[in-house]
Structure 1
Amino acid sequence: MKSDNIIEEKTFNLALRIIKLYKYLVQEKKEYIISKQIMRSGTSIGANVAEALEAQSKKDFIAKMSIALKEANETKYWLRLLIASEYIEDRSGKSLKDETIEVIKILTAILKSSRKHEINV
């Protein structure tokens, strides 16, 4: 079921791509360590966004979105490492990295706006 929420949809789609990357790394490249790290961080982004959207308070929302941002930054790191170590090609890696950076920018904007409005709440 497709979401109307942009960040929820983008993080879900990113998680799907990360799952496919994980399968490729394990099945084709026999890489088991970094693949688990990126699987964990890459799928955690959307899970935390989903939790944030059901937050019980503004503080809870900000906390969950902050975790999502941290996980997105970690995912970007693992992608950079996978590209540099030639486990994945520059082209496919760049596409995933660009998508992750876009998610980071959106999450950063959401957090900036939420923190600004939190002051008087």
Structure 2
Amino acid sequence: MKNDVVHTKSKSFAIRIVNAYKFLTSDKKEFILSKQLVRSGTAIGALVRESEFAQSKKDFLNKMYIALKETNETQYWLEILHETDFLKTSEYNSLSADCIELIKLLVSITKTTKNKLD
């Protein structure tokens, strides 16, 4: 069940990130940081999706760890965009809350999977 939740939330988050990217590039004329954001923010869902066909539990765990690292990186770019006034506090808070929720889900999945492998 947790995997279904992370699939759904990571895809929804990717869509929000793409929309934030469109806003940042068209309205704010910000192209460098927003490109980093869209790359890491959409990689999360792609890695979660890729994990569906992992070759082993170890491969699954590896993909989830990489997704977790991408989520943490995305949080970093959100913070930078907020602290440089490209994202308003309300926009940042909303995206950040979703990002933190994904981090918590991925931490839980990686811990549970790792414990099963040990």
- Give the TM-score category using the shorter length: over 0.9
Partners of 2:105 and 2:88 lie apart in 1 by 26
Cα offset, 1:97, TM superposition? 0.3
Counterpart CA distance in 2 for 1:80 and 1:53 is 30
Residues 14-54 of structure 1: per-residue CA shift (max 9 Å, x gap)? 00000000000100011010010000000000000001122
Report the equivalent of 2:105.
106
List aligned pairs for 1:13-92, cutoff 5 A: 13-92=12-91
Q: Which amino acid aligns with 1:96?
A: L
**TM-score (ref. length: structure 1):** 0.94
Q: How far off is 1:56 after superposition? A: 1.1
Q: Give the alignment's TM-score, normalised by structure 2.
A: 0.96
- Which amino acid in structure 1 is aligned with residue 98 of structure 2? E
Tell me which stretches of 4 or more aligned residues in structure 1 moved more than 3 Å.
Answer: none
Count of aligned pairs between the two proteins: 116
Question: Which structure 2 segments of 5+ residues have no match?
Answer: none
Provide the alpha-carbon RMSD of the alignment: 0.9
- Structure 1 residue 71: Cα displacement: 0.2
User: Whose relative contact order is higher, 1 or 2, with alpha carbons under 8 Å and at least 6 apart?
Assistant: 2
Q: Which SS does the other structure have where 2:87 is aligned?
A: coil
Tell me the secondary structure at the aligned position of residue 5 of structure 1. Answer: helix
Deviation string, structure 1 residues 59-104 (Cα, Å, up to 9, x no partner): 1000100010000000000001111111010011111001000000
Which protein is richer in helix relative to its size? 2
* Letter paired with 1:32: F
